[in-house]
Structures are given as structure tokens and as C-alpha cells.
Structure 1
Amino acid sequence: MHDLLTDHARTRPVPSEDNPDNREPDARDQALARLLGFYTAVVGAAHDHLRALSGDTLPEVFVDPQQALSWLEAEYDNLITAVHTAHTTGDTTTAIRLPAILGEYLNRSRRFEDAITVYTRAQETAHRTGDTHREAGAWNNLGSALREVRRFDEAIDAHSRARQTFHQVGDAHSEAQAWNNLGLALARTGRRQKAHEAFGRAVQGFGDTHDAHSLATALKNWSELQQRRPWWQFWRR
């Protein structure tokens, strides 16, 4: 499988207006499409297991979160290659969705450099295809990964792009998430006043969209900032 992914990425350039690819898909193309679809579906099931709450109905692909984690670890190299292949060959669904649903595992395993790479691929693909909403999501994910490796100015830029775009498309809940993430990045650079404003906007947004859990998190961040906690205590949040 890994050889199929890497060979296809090398030999099949992404279609473009300057160089349209009008040939009929051959057997190798079809096999690649099935493989990418398989990976996206199974990673989606793993993501559901890793984020499940008590009582949730879960896909039967895995029996429990530990089995999902074991599969993700075993297939990890192939999954990262799948993102690159999808980006290169123009499979926009996989190139955008697969990084997003890999996020929970990437965070748990602290693979932040790989997260930065695949979120960047998702952002580039969404931008190229005019998928504004998913591009905003990719920017937000990218900002969180950048924050974890202390690239704070880049994280602030990414979260700012995300919250501006979510506002433009009218997604108030996702905009609130971006405001909260922006507040965390600002707090870690000691920019307390701007962080205070960002957390305040997050609190308002979560309140307006009736998300009690996220509202409690944003209120906690806001309160701790008002208590003048040292910026480094916002390191992992």
C-alpha cells in the first residue's frame, strides 16, 4: 500500500487549468482512490472512538479506543503519505478531511511537526479549491499545532485567519473556537490585554451558540488570565 501511494504521488501530477488531465482513470488510479477512501473511513472510525463520551454509539470497526490507537500507530506512515498523495493528485476530499480527523491522534501522540505538515496540506488544498469553510478549519488546526511547538507568532496569524474566515462564512461556533485558541496563543506571548479580549469574544460566542462545555473552558481561561497567572501556565491547554 505504501508503495502504491508514493509511486502515484511521484508519477501523477495534480491536474490544473494549465495542464488538465483528461485521461480515463486506469486500474492503478481506481485502486488508489479505494485505498484513500478506506484510510479516510477507518481513521474517521478511530477518531470517533478516541473522542467518545459514555453512551455514544460507535462504529464497529474497532472494539475500543486502545484498538483504534494500535491501528493508527501501525498505519501511521501510510496515513501521512496518504495526505501528501491526496494533495498532490488532487483528491481534495482526502487531502482536507484526513488531516482533520487525524488531529486527535496527532495531539495525543504529540506529533506536532507532522500535524503542521498535514494541516498545511489541508489548508492549501481547501484554498486551491475555494472551500473557504474548511480552509478556516485547517488554519485553526494549524495554529494549535504551531502553538505547541512555540511558534507563537505563526500560531496567532493562523488563528486570526481562522476566526476572520469563520466570521465571514457565518459559523459563529467555530469562530468562538478560533477566538479561544487565539487567546491561548496571545497569553503564551504575554499579550494579556489582547488575550483578554480574545477570551471575552470566545465566551460571548459560546454563550450565543449554547455550547455549555466550551463556554466553561473559555470562562476558565478568561478567569485565570484575570488572576494574572504566569503566561507559561497556559502552555498546555
Structure 2
Amino acid sequence: MSKRTSAGTLNGMPNGVQEPVKGVVEEPHQDKQSRLLNDPNPGHFSLVRAYHLADLITLMNGFCGVMSVLSSLRYIAGEGKGNLWAALSLPYLGMFFDFFDGAVARWRKKSSLMGAELDSLADLISFGVAPAACAFSLGMRTALDQLLLTCFVLAGLARLARFNVTTGNVPKDKNGKAKYFEGLPIPTSLSIAALMAFWASRGWINQDIPYGTIGSGIFELHPVIGLFLAHGCCMLSKTLHIPKL
């Protein structure tokens, strides 16, 4: 998750977003963005004009996530294994944009009213929905598989919402940087994507997924789906502190 900022405040802190990055000051450009977003008589494309460069980079993260999901669907539809590799690779490109947008915001000394919200929504697609779709395309499709994949995505959604609301309360170092993440950051789900890519490279998909299935009927599931369940629990944990580098 990149360090995007927003102008809303609550008790003197950003409302639902991170603290402004040190060195990023409030400037007239934010007043212009606010005016464009709140204009009672907006133009048809006033939202586009309100975007900052960092916002557009964040949207590229979301673009990668959506394309990953669509690639998974194309693979399921039988359009070739290249789509599977695209589905597994695109979230990594999304992670590049996720880190890059914050760097651009700090470089340009601009904080966006929409920055943190866009960042969280894009992260949910690229690091929540997309890996779940990849797992489904690899063959984890039983009723319980689908339930646990859904729980994983919802855990990511809850994790991002908590991050936006509580990040201002996390202890800071002398530079104003949060000392740790509460729970696993959602981009760490790419570790599961890497494992799935390894399985795909070995042909361990569909009927050959490692450890097969257990149970029967509506209780049938792939044991490896537990990776998503465990990761979701770690994202939700309040006591698991991941130091920031």
C-alpha cells in the first residue's frame, strides 16, 4: 500500500486515510481539486480534470487487477494458457504502480482528496479479487473453495477499511512514519500468487492441484485453499505487527 494522502480530517487527523507524508504541504492545487469535485454544476468530465498524476498511476494499479481477473476468465473459457500467465503476472505490475503513485505524490508535493480511497480500492482488486480469481481458474472451484476465497477477499476489504480509519493512530517514528502495519498488508497476497505460478509451471492445476481434495459433496474442498484462509486471518489480526521498512 502506497503512502497516498487525503484532505478529510477527523480530530485533526486525516479521516479514513494516512497522515500526510512529511514534506507534502497543502497547496492551492488541492483547493482546485476540491472545487472540481464539489461543483454543483460540474462539466461532464470534471472528475477527469480533478485527477492528479499520482491518481492516474493508482488507476493503473486497478487496471492491472481488472485485466488479471479478465485473463482468468479467458483462461477458464479455454482461450489458452497464456491468459493464465497474464492473470498471475498482472498483479505484480499493479504492485509496481502501487508503490510508484506514492513516490510521485511526494515528488510533486501534492496530496489528493481521492488518493487514499483510490489506492485502497485498487489494492482490493489487484491483491484481493485477482488472486482469488486466479485460484478459481486453477481449479479451486468447489462450493467450500468458493466460500473461502470469498472470505479472503472480504478480509482484504475489511483490512483496507481498518487501515484507512486507524492509520493515524499507529505509533510513528521521529520522521512521522508509521512504525508498523497492523496485520498483513494486502499486497503480501502476491506470495500466494507466486506459489500458484509455480504450480502452473509444473502442471499442478485442475485435477493435479497439490494434495487434491478432501471431503465430498458440498463439503469437498482443496486443502491448499487454507492458504487463503490463513492469509485472510493474518490480514485481520490487530495484534500482528509487521515492521515497515
What interval of TM-score do these two structures reach, taking the shorter chain for normalisation? 0.3 to 0.5
Higher relative contact order (CA 8 A, sep 6+): 2
TM-score normalized by the length of structure 1:
0.33
